[in-house]
Amino acid sequence: MGKLLVVGSVALDTVRTPFGEASEVLGGSAAYFATAASYFTTVDLIAVVGKDFPDQHLKFLKSRGIDLTGLEQRTGETFRWKGEYSYQLNEARTLETRPNVFETFRPRIPERYRTPALLFLGNIDPELQLDVLRQVQRPLLVACDTMNYWIDRKREALWRVLEQVDVLVVNDGEARALGGQPNLVQVARDILTKGPKHLIIKRGEYGVLLFNHKQTFGAPAFPLEQVRDPTGAGDTFAGGFMGYLAATGNLSEASLRQAMIFGSVMASFTVEAFSLDRLRVLDYKEIEARFREFKRLTHFEDLS
CA-atom Rg of the chain in angstroms = 18
Cα–Cα distance for residue pair 146/175, rounded to 1 Å = 10
Structure confidence by residue, pLDDT tens digits, 58-73: 999 999 999 999 999 9
**Would you kindly state where each structural domain of the chain is located, as residue ranges?**
4-298
Distances (CA, A) of 287 to 77, 273, 281, 290: 35, 16, 12, 5
pLDDT per residue, tens digit, the chain (304 aa), is 568 999 999 999 999 999 999 999 999 999 999 999 999 999 999 999 999 999 999 999 999 999 999 999 999 999 999 999 988 777 788 999 999 999 999 999 999 999 999 999 999 999 999 999 999 999 999 999 999 999 999 999 999 999 999 999 999 999 999 999 999 999 999 999 988 999 999 998 889 999 999 889 999 999 988 889 999 999 999 999 999 999 999 999 999 999 999 999 999 999 999 999 999 999 999 999 999 999 999 888 888 7
CATH topology of domain 4-298: UDP-N-acetylmuramoyl-L-alanine:D-glutamate ligase (3.40.1190)
Structure confidence by residue, pLDDT tens digits, 259-268: 999 999 999 9
The percentage of the chain sitting over the pLDDT mark of 90, rounded to a whole number, equals 89
Cα–Cα distance for residue pair 259/244, rounded to 1 Å = 6
Residue 58 confidence (pLDDT) = 98
Residue 87 confidence (pLDDT) = 83
Q: What is the pTM of this model?
A: 0.96
What is residue 222's DSSP assignment? P
Residue 238 confidence (pLDDT) = 97
Residue 2 confidence (pLDDT) = 64
Q: In Å, how far from its chain's centre is CA 185?
A: 22
Cα–Cα distance for residue pair 146/61, rounded to 1 Å = 24
81 and 27 Cβ atoms separated by less than 8 Å: yes
Strand partners, 208: 202, 219
Please spell the DSSP secondary structure of 13-28, one letter per residue.
EEEEETTEEEEEEEE-
Residue 161 confidence (pLDDT) = 97
Q: CB within 8 A of 165, min separation 6: which ones?
A: 121, 142, 143, 144, 195, 196
